[in-house]
Amino acid sequence: ERTIRMGILDACYNLGSPCGSLVVGPLLDWGGYIAAFSTAIILFILDIIYVLLRIKKKVPTIDENSHGICSRILDIGISLRTMVRRRPGYATQLLFLLVLAMMFDSFPVFGEGNVKYLFVKRALDWTHTQYGNWSSYGSYLGVAGLVILIPLFKGLFGLRDGTLGLLGAVSRTSANLCYGFVTNTTKEWLMWLGATLGAARNLAPVSIRAMLALLAGTKDV
């Protein structure tokens, strides 16, 4: 259930990205960067208003012996002590491995995100609208993968979290291999094939977080 709940939460969070990618192309064609950035600013303002009106947060009591909020936030030592705390079996070692796995999964995502549009513009001569359509297609498939595949694999087939993570890694690797062979406009179909093969890529971070929460326990989560 933990993995399924995290999958649904990730799907809701990631749903905003394809919507933005799908809309930004027509906005740029219609009104240029002014229209695109103005729309983004309006959405940010609406977010702030929604949070102020709908999200109710209790003010926490501050311990007199504490050294301030900033000190507690920046106290990396607490996190490190939590990581190295002795746990039954090989739980501590597994926590380290899972943290490394999350790092290795995140590095390519943030790295490729900064250059992917430049890549398709040079290799395929795509416009921002074409890139937005392709990006939205891949993102929607990723969201569908979370909503459909996790309940299917966990509920129907009873797959373990580690197996889901492996499937997600294979999916992301297959997609990136397809992108790597795109060198000219005749191989544009590989971009769409890669986006399709990468539909299960988000299974990896979801399964990693689920295993981290399970190993750490409710006290340290």
pLDDT digit string, tens, across residues 81-110: 666 677 667 777 888 888 888 888 888 877
pLDDT at position 169, please? Answer: 92
Q: Count the Cβ atoms, other than its own, within 10 Å of residue 115.
A: 10
Q: SS3 helix, strand, coil % of the chain, rounded to 5?
A: 80, 0, 20
Q: Rounded to two decimals, what is the model's pTM?
A: 0.72
**Which value, in Å, is the radius of gyration of the alpha carbons in the chain?**
21
Stretch 140-168: mean pLDDT, rounded?
88
Cα distances from 170 to residues 111, 173, 186, 200, in angstroms, run 19, 5, 26, 9
End-to-end C-alpha distance for the chain, whole angstroms? 16
pLDDT at position 164, please? Answer: 92
Phi/psi for 64 (5° steps) reads: -65, -25
Cβ contacts of 149 within 8 Å, gap of 6 or more = 199, 200, 203
pLDDT tens, 5-55? 766 777 777 777 777 778 888 888 888 889 889 998 998 999 899 888 887
Per-residue confidence band for 111, with pLDDT thresholds at 50, 70 and 90: confident
Per-residue confidence band for 71, with pLDDT thresholds at 50, 70 and 90: low
**Whether pLDDT at 68 is above 60:** no
Stretch 147-171: mean pLDDT, rounded?
89
Cα distances from 68 to residues 20, 21, 214, in angstroms, run 38, 40, 30
DSSP-based three-state secondary structure for 44? helix
